[in-house]
Every structure is written in C-alpha cells, then in structure tokens.
C-alpha cells in the first residue's frame, strides 16, 4: 500500500469523557466488534483489555491512555482510551495533541458533566473534530433528548442528531438510523452474542423520525452549494452526498454528529465505527505546517518503562522510518536509534517493518527522548510544538521506609516522573526531604502505589502541602552592581531593572529596553537567566515567583571584566533585591469545584463550602439533583470527599480543577 493510500485509510482517534461515562466499556466493545478480542471485559469485574494496569483494574478508572489498533471497513483505526479523572488530564491533553479526531462519550443520565466540559475545551484548543455518543440509554433516568439539549447549551455547539432511540431506560431496544431510515436492533445470535439486524422503522416512531431526518438533511446540505440547491428544488439528496456533507461539516466544526447506544449491552457500536470512518479526519485532513522536505518527523507523546525496557509512543507526521533508523532529537541535539517499531494492541505488541506518516506507533531503544521531544531525519531537522504539562498544585514529602530501598526509591520516582510530565520532584530546603508534586491527591496516591507495586518500595509520606506562589505588591526600580577584584580576572556587571506586578496568571515576563549598548546584546540573555533562577525560590518563603514583569532598563559593563556569569549574578541579585523592596505577597491555588448533591442536602453543602472560604458562583438543577459551582482555596479542601459523604449520607460527588491563584490571607 503506498503512503498516500495508507494515510487516507487511517483514523487516529481518542475516546474522551467524564469519569464513569463508559469510555473504557465503549473501547472494549470496539475491540470485540472488530474481532480484536473474542471476549469482552467489564470495568466492574476488573478484567478489561484497555485498563490493563493493576491499579486501573482495582480502582475501576482509566489512569494511562492506552493505545490499540483495530480494522473496520478496510480502514485502520488507532484508538486511544483516555482517563476521565481530572488528576490525569495530562494524559488527555497529550493524546489530543497527536490525535486527528475524537469520540466523546456522554452518560445518558448525567449528560454533560464537568470533566466532559473540560475535555471538550481541551479538544477545542487543539482543533480536534468530534462525534458524540450518548451512552447508557438503558439506564433508569436516561433521556437522549435532554442530553442533546445539554450539548447545545453547555458546549455551545450544534448537534447533528443521526439516531433516535427505540424505547427508553430498561426498554431501550435499538436505534433509528436517520440516514438509512432503518431500525437497528442487536438480538443475540445462537452463541448469545448481540448481532446487528436491520428492520423497518416502528410505526409509532415514523413521524418523529421523518421530522428528525428533515432537520438532519437541512443542516447537512448547508455544507455544499450543489446539495443545498438540489434540496431547495425539492430533489432527494442521495445518502452518499449527505455523508460527504456531514463529513465536511464535522471537519469544519460546523456541527457535531450525535449517536445513541448502550455499550454495556453492545448496542450502537457498529454505527459508531461507521461514523468514525465516514466523518472523522484522516491524517491528511489535518496537516501540520512543516518546512519543505520529506524526511522523517515524529513527536514523542508518551514514555513507558516496563520489564522489557523503555517504550516511547510516537505520532509520525512526515516521512518514514524503519527499525534501526538513526534519528535526531532536535530538542536535545542528541542522536538516537529506533531499535524496534511496534504497533500496540492494548498490552500486546506487533512488530512493524516501518513507521510512516500518519502512524501512531511505539518504538524501543530511545535513551534520551522525553514526552514532547521531536525526532527527525538528521539531514532535515524539524522542531514540532511541545506538549505542555499543567503546573502542580500539591506537594508531599516522601521517603522510603527502609534505607536499603533508597536506590530503588530514587530510580522508581525518577522513572514515574519521566512517564508523567505533570509530576515534579524537588527538595524541601529546610528538611532536605524529597518532595513529590502533582495536580491532585489521587494522582499522588496512584504514583506512590505504582512505586510499591512496580519497584517494591513502600514510603512514608508527610501531609500534602499546597504549592504556593509569591508575587509583588507594587512596582520598584533597582540598580545592582556586581564587582569583584581579587587577583586574576575580575568580575563586573551593572544592571538597572524595573520590576512591576502583573495580572494573575500572567507568569514571569522579561523584557529588555536597553538602547545604545549600555549592556551588550550578548549579555542580556544572561541577565534573564539570573532573574529566572532567582524566581524559582522567592525571598518571602522560598516559593516560585510569578505574575511579575522585569524590564532591563540600563546598566554598564567593563571591556575586560564583564562576562555572561557576571551578568547572570547581577540579574539574580537585582531581582532578589527588587522582591524585598516591592512588598511580597503569598498566592494560593483556588479550585473550581462542582458538587452534585441531592436537593435535600444543598443547604449543608453550601454552608460547608462557605466555611472553607469558598464562594458559590452558580447553582442549578440537573434531574433530581442540585449542582453547586464554587471557587474554593485548595488549602481548605484536604479530605473533602470524606466530609462531603458524611454530610450527604454518601450521596453527593464532586470534581475540582485549578482555576487561578489568589492572594492568600495572612497567617496569625
């Protein structure tokens, strides 16, 4: 198969959703329906193919994005099942960075949930076209029309409804396919396995189906002038033309096709696979702007260490590479060799002769390549956009139970941080203890459990600490002269800088306003480096400094005694002096919290959030439950799940994610 045909018949897709919406079950049913596995696993039984990590099976949630490959209608579908829990958002983010399309799974009862919304916005940021599956329509309280309305209202998109459910809740029997105007059912065959059968649309749904099809056609033909003209002239628009219109509108983001199903009962999987092939993009539909050339270019989007060694997942954007091909890591400048190329089938591997444009593969043998690094043909170097990890908001002191475990402890932690770029390792400047930082309590818990199960190391932990930041209260100008003369070459650097506060979330910005060469051009990056080094630990309490602009305004140099080191020291000392003069403040992370609670506990939940310095922003009703949205300092939320369960007799749930940093109240 030539490269162009291969790429046209590829679909690189992710399955994303809120935790518990049924993503992994959908993935399992796709594997079963395409013949990739011959027996389906269940999340609640802990025997799924995609959640192969022991912790995933124990907790019933997806932690790692697992890659697998299936075939459908002559197309190769590379499928990544991503986590729904907010603590593992880096997995969703780095998957979306390399995928071309996505299936978003919605719970037919809960509808659009907080994490669905977060993931939807992430997909918006990467411009990933999507189709929607309203799942679990066989559950009590499921309501397809209500979920479609929520998609319109909460996600601000136009749904293109392709299915109508036949029956409700326990009576959900199948779907009406509005394109073919047929009813699709899944009765068991002689081996007891659901088998797709087609029949006439039930008489009681005929009028509703005709009206829904008219809406579908009217929306779809807007994508093509000839089809629109034919429709307005009263002509019948052929199904293949309609499919082409739907594909065009999906890729352009004009609408989102919506399908119906109940994955646990294997209902709706074949139409979903058809929609992936028909409506989601091939790699060529979403080309990257790359410099001219045909040399190999790929992005490392995930690194996994197991008993066989290091496996690096790549998305190939250009060219091809065989096992043994030498490549250049353009991030580090180091040469690497792809010793083996494999295609992943969840936890099973299939050797490949080569990786070519559009492919998602795993390679063995990379020693120095991390998540976000670019690999390219050494003769045609390319740098692809990196993958950005979220900033950690929680830190925990960790140490091995036994001194004998120190080497395994250190090696294990570094391996796990290598695999997950949203984890950080540091050291407590007062105690010298190792600090593990991340985005949430669950993520840190899971990491320490991996340390135990994979590396045989149990640890002692300190209580979680909030990752604070420091900033300044007002603008100052400082002058700092670094001058040393004690035998041998001297050191000389003078800088004048203005330091001013910025709005929250702006980070640390450095600018040069040097004119007339008072500080030579080659020394300006050294001043910035000194400032950024000083900003890693503020003078108030040693936390990183943020939301500050530093402008280098003036300075002086010495022909012989000035150097890059002298100007780096001057930049560092000047910024520390500026912090002391500018009135330092502590910033704390504030989380966007959404609590779903029975109506009779709303007052208790709101009262408790207020006691935690929370500010309730919004309250509405979702079915027979209340949803409370609030901004709450992370400092007050440790152990919140236990308190919430106690308040609501175990009937409430919540999600939270970092929203912004705000000035922390003074202690004492």
CA atoms in the 13 A half-sphere facing the CB of 3: 15
309: left (phi over 0), alpha (psi -120 to 50) or beta: left
Measuring CA to CA, how many Å separate 413 from each of 420, 421, 456, 463, 536?
A: 11, 12, 12, 18, 22
- What pLDDT, on the 0 to 100 scale, is given for residue 89? 57
| Paired tokens of 256 | 């989102």
For each of the domains in the chain, give its residue range(s) and CATH number, in order of start: 7-285 (3.40.50.300), 297-376 (2.40.30.10), 394-467 (3.30.70.870), 472-582 (3.30.230.10), 587-663 (3.30.70.240)
C-alpha closest to that of 656 among 15, 19, 151, 16: 19
**CA end-to-end span of the chain:** 72
Long-range CB contacts for residues 610-614, cutoff 8 Å, separation at least 24: 612/636, 612/637, 612/640, 613/665
**Inter-residue contact 595 to 627 (CB < 8 Å):** yes
DSSP 582: S
- What pLDDT, on the 0 to 100 scale, is given for residue 440? 79
C-alpha closest to that of 495 among 553, 549, 539: 553
Q: Per DSSP, what are the bridge partners of residue 76?
A: 10, 71
| Paired tokens of 393 | 């908001």
Rounded Cα–Cα distance for residues 531 and 522 (Å):
16
Rounded Cα–Cα distance for residues 148 and 106 (Å):
10
Rounded Cα–Cα distance for residues 355 and 377 (Å):
13
DSSP 179: T
Report the chain (668 residues): mean pLDDT per 10 consecutive residues.
77 86 84 77 43 40 56 92 55 82 94 81 89 97 96 93 97 97 95 93 98 98 97 95 98 97 96 98 91 93 81 92 94 94 77 93 91 94 86 89 92 90 83 87 86 92 90 97 82 96 93 93 96 94 93 95 95 97 94 89 96 94 84 91 87 82 81
How many residues can be counted in the chain?
668
Is 164 exposed, middle or buried (CB count within 10 Å of its CB: 0-12, 13-18, 19+)?
A: buried
Rounded Cα–Cα distance for residues 9 and 16 (Å):
22
3-state secondary structure of 323: coil
**Inter-residue contact 51 to 118 (CB < 8 Å):** no
C-alpha closest to that of 594 among 86, 92, 88, 157: 86
Strands 374-376 and 326-329 turn out to be antiparallel
Sheet harboring 66-72: ordered strands across?
66-72, 75-81, 10-17, 101-107, 130-135, 256-260, 159-161
- What pLDDT, on the 0 to 100 scale, is given for residue 7? 84
Rounded Cα–Cα distance for residues 193 and 173 (Å):
15
Q: Per DSSP, what are the bridge partners of residue 328?
A: 335, 376
**Inter-residue contact 17 to 105 (CB < 8 Å):** yes
């Amino acid at each position: 198969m030539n490269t162009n045909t291969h790429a046209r018949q590829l679909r690189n897709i992710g399955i994303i959703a809120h935790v518990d919406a049924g993503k992994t079950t959908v993935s399992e049913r796709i594997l079963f329906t395409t013949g990739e596995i011959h027996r389906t696993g269940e999340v609640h039984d802990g025997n799924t193919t995609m959640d192969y990590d022991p912790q995933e099976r124990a907790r019933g949630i997806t932690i790692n994005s697992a890659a697998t490959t299936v075939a459908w209608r002559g197309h190769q579908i590379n499928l990544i099942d991503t986590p729904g829990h907010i603590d593992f958002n880096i997995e969703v983010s780095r998957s979306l960075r390399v995928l071309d399309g996505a299936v978003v799974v919605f719970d037919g009862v809960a509808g659009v949930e907080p994490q669905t919304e977060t993931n939807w916005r992430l997909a918006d940021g990467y411009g990933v076209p999507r189709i929607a599956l309203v799942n679990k329509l066989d559950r009590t309280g499921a309501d397809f029309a209500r979920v479609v309305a929520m998609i319109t209202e909460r996600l601000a998109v136009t749904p293109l409804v392709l299915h109508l459910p036949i029956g409700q809740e326990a009576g959900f029997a199948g779907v009406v396919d509005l394109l073919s105007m047929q009813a699709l059912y899944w009765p068991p065959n002689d081996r007891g396995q659901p088998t797709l059968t087609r029949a006439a649309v039930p008489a009681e749904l005929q009028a509703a189906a005709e009206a829904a099809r008219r809406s579908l056609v009217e929306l779809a033909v807007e994508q093509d002038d000839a089809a629109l003209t034919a429709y307005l002239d009263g002509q019948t628009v052929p199904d293949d033309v309609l499919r082409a219109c739907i594909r065009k509108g999906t890729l352009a983001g004009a609408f989102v096709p919506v399908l119906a199903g109940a994955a646990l009962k294997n209902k709706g999987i074949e139409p979903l696979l058809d929609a992936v092939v028909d409506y989601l993009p091939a790699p060529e539909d979403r080309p990257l702007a790359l410099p001219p050339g045909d040399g190999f270019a790929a992005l490392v989007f995930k690194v996994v260490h197991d008993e066989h060694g290091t496996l690096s997942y790549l998305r190939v954007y250009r060219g091809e590479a065989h096992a043994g091909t030498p490549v250049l890591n353009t991030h580090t400048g180091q040469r690497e060799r792809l010793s083996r190329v494999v295609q992943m089938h969840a936890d099973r591997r299939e050797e490949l002769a080569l990786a070519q444009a559009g492919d998602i593969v795993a390679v063995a043998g990379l020693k120095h390549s991390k998540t976000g690094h670019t690999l390219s043909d050494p003769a045609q170097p390319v740098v692809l956009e990196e993958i950005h990890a979220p900033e950690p908001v929680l830190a925990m002191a960790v140490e091995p139970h036994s001194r004998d475990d120190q080497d395994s402890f250190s090696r294990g932690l570094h391996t796990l941080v290598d695999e997950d770029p949203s984890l950080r390792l540091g050291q407590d400047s007062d105690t010298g203890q190792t600090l593990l930082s991340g985005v949430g309590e669950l993520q840190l818990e899971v990491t320490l459990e991996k340390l135990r199960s994979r590396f045989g190391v149990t640890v002692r932990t300190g209580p979680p600490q909030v990752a604070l930041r420091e900033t300044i209260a007002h603008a100052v100008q400082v002058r700092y002269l670094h001058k040393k003369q004690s035998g041998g070459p001297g050191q000389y650097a003078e800088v004048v800088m203005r330091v001013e506060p910025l709005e929250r979330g702006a980070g640390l910005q450095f600018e040069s306003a040097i004119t007339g060469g008072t500080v030579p051009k080659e020394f300006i990056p050294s001043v910035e480096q000194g400032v950024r080094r000083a900003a890693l630990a503020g003078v108030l309490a040693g936390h990183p400094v943020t939301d500050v602009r530093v402008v280098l305004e003036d300075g002086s140099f010495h022909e012989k005694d000035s150097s890059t080191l002298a100007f780096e020291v001057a930049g560092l000392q000047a910024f520390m002096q500026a912090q002391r003069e500018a009135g330092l403040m502590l910033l704390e992370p504030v989380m966007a919290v959404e609590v779903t609670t029975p109506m009779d506990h709303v007052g208790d939940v709101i009262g408790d959030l207020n006691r935690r310095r929370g500010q309730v922003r919004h309250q509405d009703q979702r079915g027979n439950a209340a949803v409370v949205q609030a901004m709450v300092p992370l400092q007050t939320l440790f152990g919140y799940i236990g308190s919430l369960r106690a308040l609501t007799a175990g009937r409430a749930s919540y999600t939270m994610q970092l929203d912004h940093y705000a000035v922390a109240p003074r202690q004492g």
